[in-house]
Amino acid sequence: MLDLNDIALFVQVVRSGSFAGAARRLGLPPNTVSRRIQQLEARLNTRLLLRSTRKLTLTSAGQAFHQRCASAVDDLAAASQASMIGSEQPSGVMRVAVPADFFDFFRAQWLAQFMARYPGIRLDFVLSDTRADMITEQIDVAFRGGQPQELGFVSREILAPGSNHLVASPAYLAARGAPNSLQDLAGHDAIGVAHPSGLATWRLAGPDNVEQEVHVPCRFAANTAQAQRKAALAGLGVALLPGALVRLDLHAGRLAPVLPQYSSASFGLHAMYPTRQHLPAVVAALIDLVRDRLNAIHEKKIDAPDNSV
């Protein structure tokens, strides 16, 4: 018997044009998408897609199958959405756990359309870099950087890892000189996270993609990227910050790149919620909103909030 979820996945792959595109939309690993399509082909005993390194192409059987299934999948999705919302609009408090500087990346104005769509919902954001206990604190959905650690929860990647870059203010570089090598950083002041050693430890990869670890005296420490950015703007040292966060500062000349040939990978962002089954439509809609807006910033389609000092 065919799994309707696999048929819906096949339709999404066709619309996305790739396993990776469908995986991003659905929050699944690309290899999972590929494996499930192979299972569908095995059950049908026919090849639906021709795979190459550049693109996917429908076979004649795949084209016929897609034409017959696509509208049915859309009808089922619409019916499912209607039943999840029900005859009455959702109401109550939705508790959302986010990093402490979340609203330095995400505009509160972007929630206006969401709240107009669900007028009975009240949003309660819990802002902290400490991981909230989702059960004890009754968290409906949590947005977290890095790799998820909790067991028993659904984790969906909504923002792929990007890159961090070294920056400093022009005034700082004029006073201290711009470093010409990673070794020169030892003679500079770092802006980073507090450590008992008093040093900021950065793992940076250069043009050869080989990582090197550097230790820089840390004169200003803070546990959020936004606080570190403001310290860099104030001329307190060199900071390693997400490219999306400092793009406007670099463009305006408020910050300058330092050793631009070196960078490090930044954490992506995951949405976590208790169960994959019966996810309320209002929670799914909020996840989609956060995903779409943050990815638009990441892809430079829109700018992050300009929080210049």
Q: What is the pLDDT of residue 126?
A: 93
Query: Mean pLDDT for the chain?
Result: 84
CATH topology identical between 92-159+268-298 and 163-265: yes
Per this entry, what is the length of the chain?
309
Reported as a pLDDT band with limits 50, 70 and 90, residue 85 is very low
Superfamily of domain 92-159+268-298 in the CATH hierarchy: Periplasmic binding protein-like II (3.40.190.10)
Range 105-133 average pLDDT:
88
Q: Regarding the domain delimited by 163-265, which CATH topology (the fold level of the hierarchy) does it fall under? A: D-Maltodextrin-Binding Protein; domain 2 (3.40.190)
Q: Is 201 exposed, middle or buried (0-12, 13-18, 19+ CB in 10 A)?
A: middle
Range 107-134 average pLDDT:
88
pLDDT at 220 > cutoff 90? yes
Q: What is the pLDDT of residue 301?
A: 62
Q: What is the pLDDT of residue 212?
A: 93
Distance between CA atoms of residues 6 and 33, nearest Å = 9
pLDDT at 291 > cutoff 60? yes
pLDDT at 230 > cutoff 80? yes
Range 143-155 average pLDDT:
73
Q: What is the pTM of this model?
A: 0.59
Q: What is the pLDDT of residue 83?
A: 46
Tokens 């909504």 identify what position? 158
Domain range summary for the chain, segments of one domain joined by +: 4-85, 92-159+268-298, 163-265
Residue 185 CB contacts under 8 Å (≥ 6 apart), including other chains: 179, 214, 216, 238, 259
Q: Is the CA virtual torsion 168, 225, 307, 156 positive or negative?
A: positive
Report angle CA 118, 97, 127 to the nearest 5 degrees: 110
CA atoms within 13 A on the CB side of 34: 10
The residue ranking higher by pLDDT, 45 or 308, is 45
Q: What is the pLDDT of residue 244?
A: 79
- Tokens read off for 152: 């028993």
pLDDT at 243 > cutoff 70? yes
- Name the most confidently modeled range: 4-8, 87-91, 105-109, 215-219: 215-219
Question: 58 has which bridge partners?
Answer: 49
CATH code: domain 4-85 is 1.10.10.10
